[in-house]
Amino acid sequence: MNEFYRGRRLRRNPVIREMVRETQLSAADLMMLYFVVDTTDEDFKKEIPSMPGQYQLSLKQLEKTVGEAVDAGLRSLMLFGIPKHKDAIASEAYAPNGIVQRAIRMLKAKWPDLQVVTDVCLCEYTSHGHCGILKEGDTCGEVVNDPTLELLAKTALSHVEAGADMVAPSDMMDGRILAIRETLDKAGYVNTPIMSYAVKYASAFYGPFRDAAGSAPSFGDRKSYQMDFANGQEALREIAADLDEGADVIMVKPALAYLDVIRDASREFNAPLAAYNVSGEYAMLRSAVDNGILAESAIYESLLAIKRAGAKLIITYFALEIAKKLKEGTV
């Protein structure tokens, strides 16, 4: 009679450990992110100081870098645009020949099967850095919700018209999914899915991204529209609302500090779930690995933890690095 559980039987060698492994990570689980800059310098490639190994790219350099990712086995990416001109109504966000629109057309012409997803928000394009329209004279950053919906829907439509496979609104305005869904459907794009940043916390982990995209608010903060990081039940309400409005994929952002929310969402809803491993999470791990504080395997371990928590798709700046290692069999 066995007196205790002998779990080590299934850990004795690499083959048996792989046989019983519960969670696997593949290139198909990963989505890479790119910052494309509206510039006349075709060779523009600027490393982001707070995100070593990540770059602001011209269209030409984007093509080159994405080619490397495709060769590594990545199948999807997300685009963020950095315009030449910013104004109070984010006009470059929905300009037919805006930087993201041009990038989409270039990528889809080169790789028709590559899934090109676009971030839909106005913060990179507004002169004040907030994610929507402000009242005249506002000094707090309280975005006016309903007028902003029209511009978000207009931006999403411009991306889809350029060839985007999926749009991902990240603004956290109430009703944005419905507004975008109705606009796309009316224009005949009934089969274009929406990935909603359904759960986006007002997090300190976004700092490096705001350096990369030049999108930090010039005054106030985003706490009146992004979620309080103390709340978990609120996340479930936000997801339910977005699914009711027509979201096809839901997202939790950030990821590593919110694994409990990812797990709750995966158990509560029968919908594809993405998790955004954000810039601050990347910067912490990148620094720890580069300085010898952690082994490089900590990167793979952290991404596997996100998937184990319930995410079906991981949006991460580590995507290319890990895809290469998966292809080489060196993870």
- Is the Cα dihedral 225, 226, 230, 231 positive or negative? positive
- Active-site residue among 253, 307, 324, 325? 253
Give the integer Cα–Cα distance in Å for 180 and 158.
11
Q: Which of 86, 200, 307, 325 is catalytic?
A: 200
| Sequence letter at residue 68 | E
Active site residue 253: yes
Cross-strand partners of 276: 315
Place of tokens 């083959």: 15
What is the residue whose two structure tokens read 């310098």? 41
Annotated catalytic residue 327: no
In sequence order, which residues have a C-beta less than 8 Å from that of residue 206 and are 6 or more positions away? 254, 278, 279, 280
Q: Are strands 313-316 and 273-277 parallel, antiparallel or unpaired?
A: parallel
Q: What are phi and psi of 126, to 5 degrees?
A: -90, 145
Distance, CA of 169 to CA of 245 (rounded, Å): 13
Residues with a known catalytic role: 200, 253
